[in-house]
Amino acid sequence: MSAPNIDTIVSLSKRRGFVFPSSEIYGGLGSSWDYGPLGVELANNVKQAWWRWLVYERDDIEGIDTSIILNRLVWKYSEHEATFNDPLVDCKECKSRFRADKLQEEYELTHPAEGLVVYASIVPFNKDKIKCPNCGKSDWTNPRPFNMMLKTQLGATAAEEDEYDEGTVYLGGRAYLRPETAQGIFINFLNVQTTTRRKLPFGVAQVGKSFRNEVTPGNFILRTREFEQMEMEYFVRPDAEHFKLVDYWVGQYVDWYTRLGVARENLYLYEVPKEKLAHYSRRTVDIMYRYFPERPEEARQWEELMGIAYRTDFDLKQHSNKPVDAEGKRLNPDSTEDLSYFDETAKERFYPHVIEPASGVNRSALAFLMDAYTEKTNDKGEKRVILKLHPELAPIKVAVLPLAKNKPEIAAMAKDIKKQLQPAMRAVYDDTGGIGKLYARQDEIGTPFCVTVDHQSLEDEAVTVRNRDTWEQQRIKTTELGEHLKQKLKVSFSV
Ligand code: GAP
């Protein structure tokens, strides 16, 4: 079982403290979300699981953490300034604004028989037939490009100049919030390679915030203007089998997601058609997740969870000062470096090619939450929600609960057990309700084990360990509790 729709997760998230609408006391800010006490733990666990898997458990990947605001020239030569656009259309009737490509996609899915692709200015857009989702009319402007990079101004002059419009503003302080973490990796390629003495093939991984001025954000944490990415650039020789490497990384990520709890049937591989590839990509496979199981047509149930792209040597070349055009003119006169690589064995210099698995923390967290969602009926016929999160992702690993909180010896023993477990695993103490309510609360937030201290515990130095998924209970000596839980959780705890 998984969540029947995203709304179920939205209400669970708000009720239990995973994710809250941002700036709510001021009426909110469209599609911005704050991660609460449990949400921040889940997101951190997703990032740590990913980092452990790639940077620690493999031998061919380094980590890095680069600035969010980079020199504007990075975005000129990566071609984001010129091409990182969404096609925007306005409904002339009700003034609503949409992405033309998304409206077209939806139209093609719902009118498969027509097989009709009509170009309107820059993209395919059946302008006369597509109806405005807001008012139902078909009275559109032509699609026009809208650059998605979020602009900012650097330096003390910014405040005064912000008053003016772009025609009069001095743009010397113009900068962007990065729309992908990848570029920070490319511009540091030589720094990482020389300091770590790496030989190809090797990868560089980065986790961090990215920003995009999305035209139509929405669907909870699926599409927001501020989000977190987990990207890895895998550098290989120009003669490597690039397409096979894309397949290899697709396989690796499908395994990673399924190992951490996503059902294989909720993942689907989408080979991005040539005409839809990003400007830097020669091949991209998107791993799609079934975020919309409630939609009757299967084709409309999917949205991108992550993508694996073959970026060729595009980025390293673009940022290098050596490449020249047909007339011998340097393509990048601003860079001070040549980001090429010398292969000692082959005695060759070249620009490495790149395979890039790019995933999102927020979309991953949402997929894990949706897949973990289950409902179960107890002996009294009451419906209970159980969040069957993988132990590695569960925000809290164990809750220690006193059966009688009014009995000071029991509460003290429970608090002491929590303290002893804490260095090895995230543990909480809770005495704010009857035991049934406390169990239900922990089930709903995905805590794999509850430890109950009762009257008998004071005599026999043993406690009851309850399993979230089976509701089975086992009596365990307190001296063996830590080891028992570690074994059951099968998590490599980094204390
Ligand atoms: N460097 C390549 C790149 O950024 P992308 O497909 O545009 O590729 C990678 O983004 C991943 O980042 C997406 O698959 C998704 O998980 C996440 N992502 C992108 N835009 C997002 C948004 N507006 N909100 C939430 N996550 C987003």
Residue nearest to atom 12 of ligand 1 (CA): 360
Span 149-202, pLDDT tens digits = 999 988 875 554 444 455 554 556 889 999 999 999 999 999 999 999 999 999
Task: State the alpha helices, DSSP H only, in 166-313.
Answer: 182-187, 189-196, 242-259
Would the CB of 313 count as within 6 Å of ligand 1?
no
pLDDT for the residue 494: 45
Protein residue with its CA nearest to atom 21 in ligand 1: 223
pLDDT tens track for 383-421 = 999 999 999 999 999 999 999 888 999 999 999 999 999
Report DSSP state, residue 366.
Answer: H
Ligand 1 centroid–CA 306 distance in Å is 7
Give tens-digit pLDDT for 416-439. 999 999 999 999 999 999 999 999
Within 313-354, residue ranges assigned H as helices are: 314-318
- Say whether 99 sits in a helix, a strand or coil: strand
Among 342, 335, 340, CA closest to 319: 335
pLDDT at 166: 53
| In the predicted structure, residue 457 carries a pLDDT above the cut 80 | yes
Q: What is the mean pLDDT of residues 251-278?
A: 96
**Is 0.85 surpassed by the pTM of this model?**
yes
Asked if residue 195 lies in contact with residue 183, where contact means CB atoms within 8 angstroms, the answer is: no
Ligand 1, residue 228: give the atom nearest the CA.
26
The CB of 180 under 6 Å from ligand 1? The reply is: yes
Q: Indicate if the pLDDT at residue 42 is higher than 50.
A: yes
Is the shortest distance between the CB of 452 and ligand 1 below 6 Å?
Answer: no
Residue owning tokens 């079982």: 1
Which residues, other chains included, contact 154 with Cβ-Cβ below 8 Å and sequence gap of 6+? Answer: 69, 173, 174, 175
Q: Compute the distance between CA of residue 227 and CA of residue 30 in angstroms, rounded to an integer.
A: 14
DSSP 8-state secondary structure symbol assigned to residue 53: I
Rounded mean pLDDT, 449-454 = 98
| pLDDT score for 495 | 35
Query: Can you give the pLDDT at residue 171?
Result: 55
Give the per-residue pLDDT at 118.
Answer: 77
Higher pLDDT, 1 or 204: 204
- Nearest residue to 259 (alpha-carbon basis) of 362, 396, 367, 390: 390
CA 222 to ligand 1 centroid distance, Å: 10
Query: What percent of the chain has pLDDT above 90?
Result: 86
Q: Is the CB of 257 under 6 A from ligand 1?
A: no
> Which stretch of 122-126, 179-183, 244-248, 278-282 has the lowest confidence by average pLDDT?
122-126
Each residue's pLDDT tens digit, 338-385:
999 999 999 999 999 999 999 999 999 999 999 999 999 988 999 999
CA of 261 to the centre of ligand 1 (A): 21
Q: What average pLDDT score do residues 305-333 get?
A: 97
What pLDDT sits at residue 66? 98
**Cα distances (Å, whole numbers) of residue 69 to 140, 208, 209, 233, 314:** 36, 12, 11, 19, 21
3-state helix, strand, coil in the chain (%, to 5): 35, 25, 40
**What confidence score (pLDDT) does residue 163 get?**
45
Q: Is the dihedral of CA 249, 250, 252, 256 positive or negative?
A: positive
Mean residue pLDDT across the chain: 93
For residue 280, the CA-to-ligand 1 centroid distance in Å is 15
Tokens of 489: 């959780």
Residues 289, 429: Cα–Cα separation, whole Å? 35
Which pLDDT score, from 0 to 100, does residue 491 have?
58
Q: What is the Cα–Cα distance from 97 to 108, expressed in whole angstroms?
A: 19
Report pLDDT for 268: 97
Sign of CA dihedral 223, 224, 229, 235: positive
